[in-house]
Structure formats: structure tokens, C-alpha cells
Amino acid sequence: MWPFSKKGVSGFSWSSTAEQVTHGIDASGFTAIVTGASSGIGVETTRVLALHGVHVIMAIRNIAAARDVKEAILKEIPSAKIDVMELDLSSMASVKKFASEFISSGLPLNILINNAGVMACPFMLSKDNIEQQFATNHLGHFLLTHLLLDTMKKTAHESNKEGRIVNVSSEAHKFAYSEGIRFDKINEQSSYNSWRAYGQSKLANILHANELAKRLKDDGVNIIANSLHPGAIVTNLYRHTSAINGIVNAVGRLVMKNAQQGAATTCYVALHPQVKGVSGEYFSDSNVCKTTSQGKDADLAKKLWDFSISLIEEK
């Protein structure tokens, strides 16, 4: 048997596709926001959610690209409900503008998928003078979630349906800096390592979901929060690392997931009944998976939460 097809407890495996893990699920009446929905697994996540009746808000920087994706999906699924809204996660002003416009629309919000990200980019600062990977992958999503949480709570209460927050992390969290999150060195260029900084931001995605899950449970709110590893996927995320990008293009399709497989765990965690009531977990290949000890460090998660709050309140 092809080793990647071995099924886990959920009944799904490395090779399962997003359509397979959501087969037969009716999500009509649900509204979801998907960040980074105009490329890679964000496109497939949007398509599959729409296929199951979800009203999807594509939250993206490149409006033109998103409209092309929307048109392509509508050709395949004429009944799809998709809207496009501009969002630059590296800019707190943009996140605040997006959240304000979404809240003003009066739409409910059942599912928030924090999917967008940048990988291993050269050192640079965001518009808010925060290291780009930490700013985009973690802080932008932290602020977005923070601003939309009341809307999600209201939706969960009024609809009596469980809300779901999904943070797309990565196994790269295992390669974060030794201290996990470098609170006092976030912007230090001299010791910056593009891959460790990426790992740091992905560890932050996990810790964010864990602390959020704890707080939601303590408040008795019907919303779950989880993180996941989508798998090694052939996408444009590797564009900042030319050597790896070359390898990915040459042999990636033999040993890496395609977009349909890469979006599977996201769609599983967002829609599947098996995940009902499961919160503060880390998933891989559509199954609950173990993270590093840092990924389960409650004190580190609390410290990151407080640190993130301080950063978003400064701006």
C-alpha cells in the first residue's frame, strides 16, 4: 500500500482531498471568511466551502486575482455565494478597515479561516514596523480574530450553531528559534533567520489557537479554535528561497500534496461533524496530531497573547 494512503482515526489520510473529507456535508446558511483565498490552498478551500453551500468572503490583498478566482468558481458552481474584500494582513490599518466593513455589512460569521501567509522572506518590517513574517502570519490574524470575535459569538448564540476558528500553521513550528517566541528580539535584524522566523510565526499560530480555545471554553462560548498543518504543498510560498523553489518545481509533485489534498485538513477542521466540540487541538492529514512541547506550553501561549494585545493596542 502506498504509505501516504494509510488512514487515521478520522478515516482520512495524507492523500485525502478536501472534497473527500467533506463529502455529504451540508453547510448551507453558513458564512466564512478565508484569508489568502486567491492562491494555493486558499483557492481550493474557498471552492470546496462554496460547493457545500457556505457563503465565502475572500479576504485578500490582490483584488484582481481574487475576482478571477471567483469567476472560475462560479463557472463550475453557478450557485456559489462568494464575495471579495480587500485585506492586507501586514497592515493593522487594513485589518481594522476590513473588520469594520465586514461588521457594517451585518453578515453573520460562522467560520474564520486564518490561512494567508508568507514564508522565509528576507528580513523586512511591516507597515507597523514589525518583522514581516510575525506581522503577517500571526499578528494580522490575531487582530482580525480579535475584532471579529463578538460577531462570531453573536452568530453562534443566535444560530445555535458552533462557530469555528481555524489557524493554518505548519510543521515548520518545530524549527522556531530555541526560545520559541523571541519577545524581546522580534525586530532584531542581526540574528534574523528567515526559516526560524517562519517557524516562530507558525508556532504563534498554534499558541494563539490554544489560548483562544481556553478563553472561549472559560466563557462558555459555542466556538472552537484549532490549528493545523496542511502538509508540504506545491505552492508559490517557496518563492523567496530559489534553491528550494527549484526542487519543489522539479520533484515536488511526486512527494508533495497538490492543492486538493493540501486544503483537506482545513476543510475538515472547518466543516466536519467529527470536530464538533474539539478545541485547542493541532491537526495534520485530517487527524488530531501532536505538536512540540512549546506548541502545548500554556504559559508561552498566555505570554504571546498578552504580547500580541500590547502590540495591537499600540497602533
Instruction: Give catalytic residue positions.
Output: 192
Sequence-ordered alpha helix ranges (H) in the chain: 18-21, 40-51, 63-76, 92-105, 132-133, 140-159, 194-218, 242-255, 259-262, 264-271, 298-314
**Rounded Cα–Cα distance for residues 48 and 96 (Å):** 28
DSSP summary character for residue 121: P
- Kindly tell me the sign of the dihedral angle through the C-alpha atoms of 123, 126, 128, 130: negative
**Rounded Cα–Cα distance for residues 233 and 304 (Å):** 28
Residues in contact with 136: Cβ distance below 8 Å, sequence separation at least 6, in sequence order: 89, 90, 116, 117, 118, 126, 201
Residues in contact with 193: Cβ distance below 8 Å, sequence separation at least 6, in sequence order: 177
Contact 172, 202 (CB under 8 A): yes
**Rounded Cα–Cα distance for residues 227 and 207 (Å):** 9
Collapse the DSSP code of 226 into the 3-class scheme (helix H, G, I; strand E, B; otherwise coil) and give the result.
Answer: strand
